[in-house]
Structure 1
């Protein structure tokens, strides 16, 4: 069951972490670091309209809701967005992964995090484990459903 998106808290958090467009993973990580009991989450965002396919996205989860510090840049109503979780990490887990990534690959951005191989294919990219593939396929189905509903209205 998807948790509801808390629009007000998402906007407040975006301001608090000084979020930027197109840095959804960094925005989510910064927000999780500053929020007690938060989880850093990666997955896919589905909505009607272009690009007509899921987009890889990062957000933060609390016990009762989703908080998306990139929401102000999405140009969508909160009710139009569907979040599909591929992986959910505690702040402690994601911090450890980032530290290790910085040591092993100092020239690369440590976010997003993809876990351990073997990786599965989703879309035109091979990243993430089976949970990524499943989240992508669920988001892809939702995009088809939403875009079909829009086509039926016209």
Structure 2
């Protein structure tokens, strides 16, 4: 069972870190660093409407809830968002990965984090391991379910 989204805390943290639109991974990273006992999570978010498919996304999780510092930028009702985690990192692990990435690949953005090869295909993209593929397939099924055309019963 997915954890519930804490919309109020999501908005509060978004404001505190001054989250920016279209910076989902950076926003989640900043939120993780600014929130005690948080885990940084990457995966997919699904909602009804465009783009009618899973969207790669990042958020943080606390023991009992999802906190999404990107919530104000999604412009969707919190109860209509569905989260599908693929990767989760403690703050210590996250910092170590970022530091190593910045040393090894200084010209590349260290986020998002895709883990070690072999990578799997989802949709027409190859990213992440089997956990990414599993999360994408679950998100894709939910997207198809909630984006079904409504048929008139007349």
> How many angstroms apart in 2 are the aligned matches of 1:5 and 1:142?
17
Query: Match of 2:75?
Result: 75
Matched, 1:14 2:14: yes
Q: 1:99 deviation in Å?
A: 0.4
2:3 counterpart SS class: coil
TM-score (norm 1): 0.97
Query: Match of 1:132?
Result: 132
Cα gap change, 1:100 to 1:78, in 2 (>3 Å)? same
Instruction: Please give the per-residue CA displacement for 1:78-134, whole angstroms capped at 9, x wherever unaligned.
Output: 001000000110011111000000011100100000011110001111110000000
Unaligned runs of 5+ in 1: none
Query: Match of 2:150?
Result: 152
Provide the aligned length of Structure 1 versus Structure 2: 152
> How many angstroms apart in 1 are the aligned matches of 2:134 and 2:90?
21
Correspondences of 1:58-137 after superposition (within 5 Å): 58-137=58-137
Unaligned runs of 5+ in 2: none
Q: 1:152 deviation in Å?
A: 2.0
> How many angstroms apart in 2 are the aligned matches of 1:77 and 1:153?
24
Q: 1:153 deviation in Å?
A: 5.9
Instruction: Please give the per-residue CA displacement for 1:43-93, whole angstroms capped at 9, x wherever unaligned.
Output: 000111110100000000000000000000001000010000001100111
TM-score (norm 2): 0.97
- Structure 1 runs (4+) deviating above 4 angstroms are none
